[in-house]
Amino acid sequence: MKQFVIAGTLAGALAVGGTALAQTPAASTPKAAPAEKSAQAPAEPAGKPPAARAQTKKAPAEQAGHEAPKAQPNTASEPEAPGAMALGTVRLPKGVKLDGKDIAAGAYQVRLTADEAKPDAKGSTEKLERWVEFLKGTNVVGREVVSIVPASEAKLVQKDAPPPSGGSKVEVLKGGDYVRVWINKGGNYYLVHLPKA
């Protein structure tokens, strides 16, 4: 989870820096000394009719540009968070920690709760950072924060091959410090990162 927060912070800083750089005015070039006025009018560009030539000349106010970026409309709607539901059964290949307690490798049922993970997790949308419970039979052995990636945003974050629809994928991440549980349910992705026991 820390890796996602760090990556999100870095991406946000780069986006803000790029916007600030794009709004920096270009260095002005020194103006040439005015030449002596000749008796003839300046040459008009060839190939343009007089009406088109008139349109290319702009008033000084139009040439100045704007001071601040124009307001952009909000085109993306707020993603809908699913309600509490069973996400499926996963098999953990090694022991992990849930709620600070060690749990053994094995098969566990995963259930999404309606509880938002605030203030424990800060995602792009608080509604999409929730708690999941891991159950052995009917007993809850622990819970962890899950990041929900809506189907509309899945292509933006997907790098590996996703699990099949209705399926799951459990992987030990590089370095072996975390186990990623990746569940595909109803087109949404549910990602849980569990530290090793």
Each residue of 73-83: pLDDT tens digit? Answer: 655 556 566 78
* Domain limits, the chain: 85-195
Q: Which residue has the higher pLDDT, 119 or 115?
A: 115
State percent of the chain over pLDDT 90. 33
CB count in 10 Å sphere of residue 117: 21
Least confident of 77-86, 146-155, 174-183: 77-86
- pLDDT of the residue at 96: 94
Q: Which residue has the higher pLDDT, 25 or 150?
A: 150
DSSP E strands, 11-163: 85-92, 96-98, 101-103, 106-116, 129-136, 139-149
Backbone angles phi, psi at 88, to 5 degrees: 130, -175
Confidence of residue 31 (pLDDT cuts 50, 70, 90): low
**Averaged pLDDT score across all residues of the chain:** 74
- pLDDT of the residue at 38: 47
pLDDT surpassing 80 at residue 94 = yes
DSSP E strands, the chain: 85-92, 96-98, 101-103, 106-116, 129-136, 139-149, 168-172, 178-185, 188-195
Kindly state the average pLDDT of the residues 117-135.
75
